[in-house]
Amino acid sequence: MGRRAERRTILLCVTGCIAAYKSCEILRALQKQGYRVKVLMTEHAAQFVGPTTFRALTHEKVAIGLFDDPEDPIHHISLAQEADAVLVAPATANIIAKMAHGIADDLMSTTLLATDAPVFVAPAMNAGMLRAAATQENLECLGQRGVTLIAPGTGYLACGTVDAGRLEDPEVIADVVIDALEASEDLAGLHVLVTAGPTHEPIDPVRYIANRSSGKMGYAIAREARRMGAQVTLVTGPTELEAPRDVDVRHVETAAQMYEAAAAAFDAADVAICAAAVADYTPTRVASRKLKKRDGKLDAIALTETVDILASLSSCKGRRVVIGFAAETNSLLDNARAKLASKGCDAIVANDVSRADSGFGSDTNKAWWLDACGVDELPLLEKHELAREILRRAGAMARKDFSQS
């Protein structure tokens, strides 16, 4: 279990566009997924975002001019050879035209011409420039040559209009690049069901019972399962997260709704990974109006136990694989073993949510894998790394079951 792709390098090319500031967000999104990012800027880009910003974010030299680095007299070749992928974001009409026509008159254009790495282009420009016949022909040319185009969206542009030409969301751009680099067939032919996030159990029109789950772990599992070739259904409670691309996402609010959605999706699933932090109890009656304090107190709220989704899916799983999570604050392994025995699932992923580096909302997770063979302590991992490890193990279980059926 290593860092993402042994720290492969992505060369981020930033051109002279008002959207250049969003390149910082793209850079951080790539770094969070374990990639090393180097930045190559045009001189015009430096008028929008200074190279110092990118040096601070990457801890790397920032390349701008052909002859800026006396230690590397053929800088465009070394940059081209070092990159595992090249991302031009934002890409102006000018750099797109240079790429299409093989013009190499600065460091960026010479590097783009020299590289054999996969190239991704995310255009951003005025709507008129984008629709111009020359730009459209240039984009078509790049697409035919194998360049991956990340189409701009529609939104508020710098010129003050709402139209096409807005740079795609930074998280989406990063996701497209990583999808291409991490694509595998490890889970091809499998349908993976993932539950994620908290549930909200309404008390009245303005209050609800919930927990601190961010949904990050479940979303990471869904995203990585798709990258590993699986068909993925994500049943998610309320979160602030962007839905993974190319995943069947079913939004729910309450535990009852999550149970219904998960049970329906489970019919077609081969693997179910229950990462959601489902409320154990829900109010017996939901008030039709906001409850008021009486003498400084709120009336007692009667609670009813919710459906146990993990146990329910496990009870009818047959040869399907069901994985649960145990988020604990004390006696972690004892509680996880008890949960594995009582729920009837194939494995439990236990983590100590009282830890700062493994709690709700963190980007890392310290986990233990428990199954019929025993307990396996995993190192502290980024959540996307832990997601891959869980999916490798769950996939192996599913393949074994298939071979025995």
What are the catalytic residues? 159
- Contacts for 191 with CB less than 8 Å, ≥ 6 apart: 230, 231, 232, 233, 268, 269, 270, 271
Identify which of 245, 258, 244 has the alpha carbon closest to the alpha carbon of residue 197. Answer: 258
Identify which of 101, 102, 76, 108 has the alpha carbon closest to the alpha carbon of residue 12. Answer: 108
Q: Which residues pair with 364 in a beta bridge?
A: 382
Are 117 and 77 within 8 A, CB to CB?
Answer: no
- What letter would DSSP give residue 27? H
What angle (nearest 5°) sits at the alpha carbon of residue 184, between those of residues 182 and 121? 40
| CA dist 91 → 84, 128, 377 (Å) | 19, 15, 45
- What letter would DSSP give residue 294? B
State whether residue 65 is helix, strand or coil: coil
In the chain, the amino acid numbered 195 is T
In the chain, the amino acid numbered 325 is F
In the chain, the amino acid numbered 226 is R
DSSP 248-279: EEEE--SHHHHHHHHHHHHTT-SEEEE--B--
- What letter would DSSP give residue 198? B
Q: Please report, to the nearest 10 degrees, the dihedral formed by the alpha carbons of residues 163, 165, 167, 168 taken in order.
A: 70
Are 349 and 390 within 8 A, CB to CB?
Answer: yes
In the chain, the amino acid numbered 119 is V
The pair of structure tokens assigned to 219 is 């979303």
State whether residue 209 is helix, strand or coil: strand
Place of tokens 């060369």: 11
